[in-house]
Structure 1
Amino acid sequence: MEREEITYPLGNSDFLRVLTNSFKEFIEKGTSRSTAKLKPLHGAIARDLAEKLGRDYTVFSQGYGIGKETKIRGRYVNKAVDITVKKGERAVAGLAVKFVMQNYSQNSNNYFENMLGETANIRCGNCPYFQIFIILDKLPYYQRSGELSRWETFTAHNAEKYVTLSQDDASIYFHTPNKTLIYVVHIPDNDSLSTSREYMDYYRRLNPSLSLTEHDYNDFGNGVIFNDYELFIEKVYHTIMAL
């Protein structure tokens, strides 16, 4: 499938093209376990941040620089982080990235609880930590057999826990990320698909571009930025530069 051309610095339209490329990698590999979809996504964010920060900083990530993650020293355990920013030998920020494309409901609470735990571990180790959570607004739910048993929608109810998180004071609650980006995107629907193979084959042929969701969600507080990558990355940049 043809890949979208990316320009830097990343604006919101560029970020959608990055997500489109990530989705196409996922479709081509045909499995959610492949790390291929992570490289265009993590690598693009890492490059964008590196170009903003300049030569005094080094950014580690799949798909950028040396092409691999590095660990941040946590309060309890050291953690390999999706994107790590270092100044010299010292980690000055970490970013975790999650892009959910299928079977959301069975993992929803695990995603959220794991996010809280890893954030607390890193932030209690005196390193700022940021979260990016990306999800399709309508996504397939598969049985182990590969049968597409139903379609799931990311609803305002699903977003409620992130609304509560957005109202937390990050200076008090160390399980709260310094800032969280929630990005909800859409691909053209096709309710006639009935298996994982049909889903992959259909979207390979369609070669779609992702767009922002048109669904309405509850208003988020200051801790969460909704569907605005440019604002989020500016917050990350200014947090790092203020250290």
Structure 2
Amino acid sequence: MLQNLGQDFKIYSLGFDNRNQFQKEAKMIGRYYDKKVDIGIEYKNEIIAGIGLKFVVQNYLQNSINYFENMLGEIANIRSQNDKLYFQILIIFEQVPYFSKNRINKKWEKLNYKNFLKYAKLSTENQSDFRHIPNKVLIVIINFACLNLENKSKHNNVNEIENFEDYKTVANFHLDNCFNALEFSNILKPIETQIQNSVIINDYDDFINRISYLIKGHVKN
């Protein structure tokens, strides 16, 4: 993304940068409270845009409304403060385990397009009128079959994953090669015509290009 933005910008995220130096999360000034963001974009010593990242690996159906409500609250707090930009990334497997309180796998939850109708509705709203709407959303739904279940794991069948420790062993999550090697799910195909361009499905490069364009345009205004 920095290549798209140019040398006048800096990007902050928790972890190590390309010079192997440790970075802390960036803090954005909100209207009601300051918020540490997963990825912060700085311009002229000010964090002007943030990206929230949610990677859901379990119990999604139980918590999906809470995830959505929390996202809207975070975005309203940030975007209503001097019209800053806020983007959201949601990554999820199309099939996730449901763990009980004692971390026993009770069942596998198979997601479908109905679980994402609220995002389709969100994509039709006017961002200028409603500050709780993210400037762009990327939804990445990963086909569970792309997990390398046999890599360093005795569990080579999802039905053998009986508890949280099994799940950690399988996954850690042995994804083959991050984004480039992932097999994306097509469960949103039935509603793809309902999803407007503020919500991007399974296309990381397109998402980065679009938000880079918005960020550069934002600082010129």
The match for 1:237 is 212
C-alpha contact (below 8 Å) 1:130/1:180 kept by paired residues: yes
Partner of 1:57: 9
Report if the CA contact (8 A) 2:26-2:47 is conserved: no
Give the whole-Å Cα distance in 1 for the aligned partners of 2:28 and 2:66.
22
* Aligned residues: CA RMSD: 1.8
1:187 and 1:208 in contact (8 A); partners too: no
**Residue 184 of structure 2 is aligned to residue 212 of structure 1:** yes
What's the offset of the Cα at 1:207? 4.0
Q: Secondary structure at the match of 1:107?
A: helix
Under a length normalisation based on structure 1, what TM-score does the superposition of the two structures give?
0.75
Distance in 2 separating the partners of 1:199 and 1:183: 20
Mapping of residues 1-243 of structure 1, within 5 Å: 49-65=1-17, 66-125=22-81, 126-188=83-145, 190-203=158-171, 207-209=174-176, 210-217=182-189, 218-219=191-192, 220-243=195-218
Instruction: Assess, with a 3 A threshold, how the Cα gap between structure 1 residues 203 and 73 changes in structure 2: closer, same or farther.
Output: closer
Extract unaligned runs of 5+ from structure 1: 1-48
The structure-2 alpha-carbon separation of the partners of 1:143 and 1:237, relative to structure 1 and needing over 3 Å to count, comes to same
How far 1:208 sits from its partner (Å)? 4.4
**Cα deviation digits, residues 90-121 of structure 1 (max 9, x gap):** 22211101110111122111100010001011
Letter in 1 for 2:101: R
Tell me how many residue pairs correspond in the alignment: 194
- Structure number, greater radius of gyration: 2
> Do the aligned residues in 2 keep the contact of 1:134 with 1:184 (CA within 8 Å)?
yes
Give the C-alpha shift of residue 64 in structure 1.
4.1
Q: How far 1:137 sits from its partner (Å)?
A: 0.3
Looking at structure 2, the residues matched to 87 and 208 of structure 1 have their Cα atoms a distance apart, in angstroms, of: 34
Structure 2: 5+ residue stretches without partners? 146-156, 177-181
CA contact (8 A) 2:80 2:131 kept: yes
Give 1:70 deviation, angstroms: 1.5
Report the identity percentage.
Answer: 37
CA offsets per residue over residues 206-240 of structure 1, 9 Å max, x none? Answer: 94424211324412112211111111111110011
Contact 2:4 2:209 in 1 (8 A): no
